[in-house]
């Protein structure tokens, strides 16, 4: 009986032996692969590879630096341009408001009167008006020269109405309704003018159709 038990145990050990051998081989293979990976990781780059890597990083840093420097210079330029523009046209809105008041003042000063006392008052107010306008001129306000008979200039003049005088060329100024002003190199207010425009002539066919319509009615 004892011998039979020993034989059974040895048989079971023989059956398990191949499985342990397969597991041992797999573990050995995994261990070898991990060692190879570690060896590759531990492999140090050569001096040439390090130099190339450093040069690439340096080139990238230089590009970023010059890009940021250019952006900063452009920003400074825009800020300076904005400041210069604001200083140049700082009095634009104030001049625009004062001009309308001066126009009304001028209309009052140009009224006709035979009263000597009122004429003296108007003469004094005219001096004040000239002083105000001279102050505006010092700030950059100037009158747009607009004369009757001049060719119409849409960049400095605005046509508020049109009439026709056959004795004068077309697209010329017949009357000046309001004076125009410049503020430095900007239009403060265009001259309001009436220009000479020939009315469109109706064709004979249109006239005939109108006559027919009137007859039918």
CATH of the domain at 106: 2.30.22.10
CA distances to 54, 104, 158, 177, 182 from 138, in Å: 63, 21, 26, 26, 12
What is the tens place of the pLDDT at every residue in 120-151? 888 888 888 888 888 888 888 999 999 899 99
Report yes or no on 169 lying in a domain: yes
Report yes or no on 174 lying in a domain: yes
What gap in Å lies between CA 143 and CA 102, rounded to an integer? 12
Report yes or no on 217 lying in a domain: no
What gap in Å lies between CA 193 and CA 179, rounded to an integer? 9
Report yes or no on 163 lying in a domain: yes
What gap in Å lies between CA 143 and CA 181, rounded to an integer? 5
Name the band, by pLDDT with cuts 50, 70 and 90, for residue 180: very high
What gap in Å lies between CA 153 and CA 171, rounded to an integer? 9
Report yes or no on 151 lying in a domain: yes
Of 205 and 105, the one with more pLDDT? 105
What is the tens place of the pLDDT at every residue in 80-109? 888 877 778 888 888 888 888 888 888 778
Report yes or no on 97 lying in a domain: yes
Sheet strands side by side (includes 173-178):
157-163, 191-196, 173-178
Q: Model-level pTM greater than 0.85? A: no
Which DSSP symbol is given to 113?
Answer: -
Q: Which domain does 192 fall in, by range?
A: 92-196
CA distances to 55, 60, 66 from 52, in Å: 5, 12, 21
Q: DSSP assignment of 117-129, as one string?
A: HHHHHHHHHHHHH
Q: At what angle do helices 92-109 and 116-138 cross, to 10 degrees?
A: 160
Task: Please provide the size of the chain in residues.
Answer: 217
Number of domain units in the chain: 1
What is the tens place of the pLDDT at every residue in 33-80? 565 555 555 567 787 778 888 888 888 888 888 888 888 888 888 888
Q: b/e per residue, 143-154, with b = 16+ CB within 10 A?
A: ebebeeeeebee
Contact (CB, 8 A) for 195 and 169: no
Report yes or no on 180 lying in a domain: yes
Reply yes or no on whether the pLDDT at 24 is more than 60: no
Backbone phi, psi, residue 175, to 5°: -150, 155
Report yes or no on 105 lying in a domain: yes
Name the band, by pLDDT with cuts 50, 70 and 90, for residue 210: low
């Amino acid at each position: 009986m004892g011998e039979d038990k020993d034989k059974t145990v040895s048989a079971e050990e023989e059956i398990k032996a191949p499985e342990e051998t397969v597991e041992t081989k797999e573990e050995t293979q995994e261990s070898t692969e991990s060692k190879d990976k570690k060896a590759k990781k531990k492999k140090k780059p050569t001096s040439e590879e390090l130099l190339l890597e450093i040069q690439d990083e340096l080139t990238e840093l230089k590009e970023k630096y010059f890009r940021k420097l250019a952006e900063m210079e452009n920003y400074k330029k825009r800020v300076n341009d904005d400041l210069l523009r604001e200083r140049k046209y700082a009095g634009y809105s104030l001049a625009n408001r004062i001009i309308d008041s001066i126009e009304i003042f001028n209309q009052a000063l140009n009224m006709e009167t035979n009263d000597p006392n009122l004429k003296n008052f108007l003469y004094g107010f005219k001096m004040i008006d000239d002083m105000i306008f001279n102050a505006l001129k010092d700030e950059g306000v100037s009158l747009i020269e607009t004369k009757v008979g001049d060719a119409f200039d849409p960049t400095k003049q605005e046509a508020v109405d049109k009439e026709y005088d056959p004795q004068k060329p077309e697209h010329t100024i017949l009357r000046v309704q309001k004076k125009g002003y410049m503020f430095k190199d900007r239009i403060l207010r265009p001259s309001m003018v009436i220009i000479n425009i020939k009315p469109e002539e109706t064709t004979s066919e249109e006239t005939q159709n109108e006559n027919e319509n009137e007859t039918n009615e």
